[in-house]
Amino acid sequence: MMDILINFENTYEPISIESDFSEMTFHSRQKDGANELILVQIKPLNNPNLPNVHNLGFGPPDGNGRFRDDVRLRHADVPKVFSTVLFHSLNFLNENPKLIVGIDGSDDLRATLYQMMFKTNKKYLDDFFVPLGVDYYVRIFRDGNYEQDEFGNYIAKPRAEQFDYNRSRHDLYRYYLFRLK
Amino acid sequence: MAEYKKMANSHPEKATSAQTKTSRVDSLSQVIRNKKEADDFMSEVESAFQRAK
């Protein structure tokens, strides 16, 4: 997997930005030469108990005001795409310094990209952000059974820690958080 | 920041309209089931941020 080197001096120009910085769009050139419109969203979670965590995601607009994260694009310049998204996040946090941005490693590929992005760019990003990693755990009772809900599903609980840069791409966090340094 | 906003304002194209919360089911939202769990988690997050500084 290629290294994603973040550089806030090399980002795509925004096409639109919401006044509260919750959304922005830009064009990402694809390997076939086409320009793909990318929508970046930083939105409150669907959980009223976590008002200070906003989820970051991006992808092609789905036509309903949201983005698709289930399509595989062939960006000509992947580092520039991630630099653009993170630069927008930096501007969002500058506007909302008390908020925390969260990234859901929704599948292994995305989680690997995010984990390697933080790891590869530690020195660069340390000037801007403080990152955390979040794992999910299930409690084991004294009788050896795992905690379950009434439907028999295991009850996972999150645990946040300082981002461990020694973790490999095969030891991914489930969720990533960062805020302004 | 001002330059960033200015860049955007110079391009009238707009791709989105909905002012909504994220539509997808965020995994963190799923594993925080009540306010106490949220408060405990955010306390842990704050401590981790402080240690990481």
In 3D space, the residue among A109, A63, A118 whose CA is nearest the CA of residue A89 turns out to be A118
**Among A45-59, A149-163, A166-180, B11-25, which stretch is predicted with the lowest mean pLDDT?**
B11-25
Spatial contact of A89 and A101, defined as CB atoms under 8 Å apart: yes
Average of per-residue pLDDT across A98-127: 91
Higher pLDDT pick, B40 / A64: B40
Q: Is the pLDDT of residue A167 over 70?
A: yes
CB contact under 8 A, A15 and B27: no
For residue A170, give Cα distances in angstroms to A2, A177, B27.
15, 19, 20
User: Is A25 in Cβ contact with B13 (below 8 Å)?
Assistant: yes
Nearest 10 degrees: CA dihedral of A54, B21, A7, A9?
-120
Of B15, B32, B45, which is closest to A49 when you measure between CB atoms? B32
Residues of B in contact with A160 (CB under 8 A): 41, 44-45, 48
Q: Among A55-64, A125-134, B12-21, which stretch is predicted with the lowest mean pLDDT?
A: B12-21
- Residue of A87, A124, A118, A120 lying closest to A3 (CA atoms): A120
Across the interface, whether the CB atoms of B29 and A47 are under 8 A apart is answered yes
pLDDT in tens, A41-59: 999 999 999 999 999 999 9
d(CA A103, CA B26): 9
What residues of A are in contact with residue B51 (Cβ under 8 Å)?
162
Q: Which of B17, B19, B28 sits opposite A50 (nearest CB)?
A: B28
Tokens of A43: 């939105």
Among A108-122, A152-166, B34-48, name the one with the lowest average pLDDT: A108-122
Three-state SS sequence of A54-107: EEEEEECECCCCCECCCCCCCECCHHHHHHHHHHHHHHHHHHCCCCEEEEECCC
pLDDT at B18: 41
Q: Extract the tokens encoding A139.
A: 């409690």
What pLDDT score was predicted for residue A106? 73
| Mean pLDDT score, A133-162 | 96
Across chain A, mean pLDDT equals 94
Q: What is the pTM of this model?
A: 0.89
Nearest CA in chain A to B18: A65
List Cα–Cα distances, A48 to A33, B12, B27, B32, B34, in angstroms: 42, 33, 14, 10, 9
pLDDT in tens, B6-38: 765 655 444 444 444 444 678 999 999 999 999
Torsion of CA A121, A134, B52, B36, to 10 degrees: 150
With an 8 Å Cβ cutoff, are B28 and A175 in contact?
Answer: yes
